[in-house]
Amino acid sequence: MTDAGNIPPILLVGCGRMGSAMLSGWRERGLAPSVAVDPSPAATGYQGDDLTVVMGPHAIPADFAPAAVVLAVKPQNAAETLPAYARYAGKVVFLSIMAGRTIGGMRGLLGEQAAIVRAMPNTPAAVRQGVTVACATEAVSSAQRGLCDRLLQAIGVVAWADDEALLDPVTAVSGSGPAYVFLLAELLEKAAIEQGIPPALARLLARQTVSGSGALLAANPEDAADLRKAVTSPGGTTAAALQVLMQDTAWPAAMSQAIEAATRRSRELAG
């Protein structure tokens, strides 16, 4: 059951994977009549009593007054997309979920008076289990920050950072992180098949082990290291496996290198 009107009118720019996930979360909480801009014919499927979908910014109803403009387009399309929304600068808050696009860069496209919140959510937002880190400019009022917090809470947990530079390693850890977890499930399944386990059973074991362990981690306040040690009996099967995985040249080094590479790429995309 939704709380009608809990989410005020929103102008959503982009109905891709993350934009549509946010839209679903808002609808669950009660979305006031809003507008989405997306040229894809598939985006019309999101149209409803609470949402008008248009092909471009020129088709936004003249009398539509959004409380926020949510920028959910691909970061490489920002330069050609954002200037059309500069007319809202100084009137509403812009909430960007474009990876790598800095506040300064967006301000150059939207106008210096634009109030901007830059956020980095991740794909578990699709099942309302995402985590988002957000950073606001000084131009963002407390009410606007509260609205953005509410919009992001509709898809999971929200944390705020004062230093925008943190969003690059945040992108590497949580933004890209689901891919690392999916790779773990993929490799577990492959290794199980190599040990003679039938493919269907291997997939079940790998997926349920990863998702179940995640649920246990979420429900338990203990450190991940303590949970790992609790599963590891001295001289047992888990210890034998961890002896391989925890070598200095194995997972500890690989994960650090992976996060460093992703952080570096996030900074390059911002340049």
Q: Is the pLDDT of residue 1 over 70?
A: no
Among the CATH numbers 3.40.50.1000, 1.20.1250.20, 3.40.50.10490, 1.10.3730.10, which is that of 177-270?
1.10.3730.10
Domain 10-167 has CATH 1.10.645.10: no
**pLDDT at position 266, please?**
87
Using one digit for the tens of pLDDT, what is the confidence trace for 241-254? 999 999 999 999 99
Mean pLDDT of the chain: 95
Using one digit for the tens of pLDDT, what is the confidence trace for 120-162? 999 999 999 999 999 999 999 999 999 999 999 999 999 999 9
Q: Is the pLDDT of residue 115 over 70?
A: yes
**pLDDT at position 249, please?**
93
**pLDDT at position 271, please?**
58
Q: Is the pLDDT of residue 3 over 70?
A: no
Q: Is the pLDDT of residue 4 over 80?
A: no
More reliable by pLDDT, 172 or 269? 172
Domain extents in the chain: 10-167, 177-270
Mean pLDDT value of segment 265-270: 83
Write the DSSP string, the chain. ---TTSB--EEEE--SHHHHHHHHHHHHH-BPSEEEE---GGGGGG-BTTEEEESSGGGS-TT---SEEEE-S-GGGHHHHGGGGGGGTTTSEEEE--TT--HHHHHHHH-TT-EEEEEE--GGGGGT-EEEEEEE-TTS-HHHHHHHHHHHHTTEEEEE-S-GGGHHHHIIIIISHHHHHHHHHHHHHHHHHHTT--HHHHHHHHHHHHHHHHHHHHH--S-HHHHHHHH--TTSHHHHHHHHHTSTTSHHHHHHHHHHHHHHHHHHHH-
**Per-residue confidence band for 269, with pLDDT thresholds at 50, 70 and 90:** confident
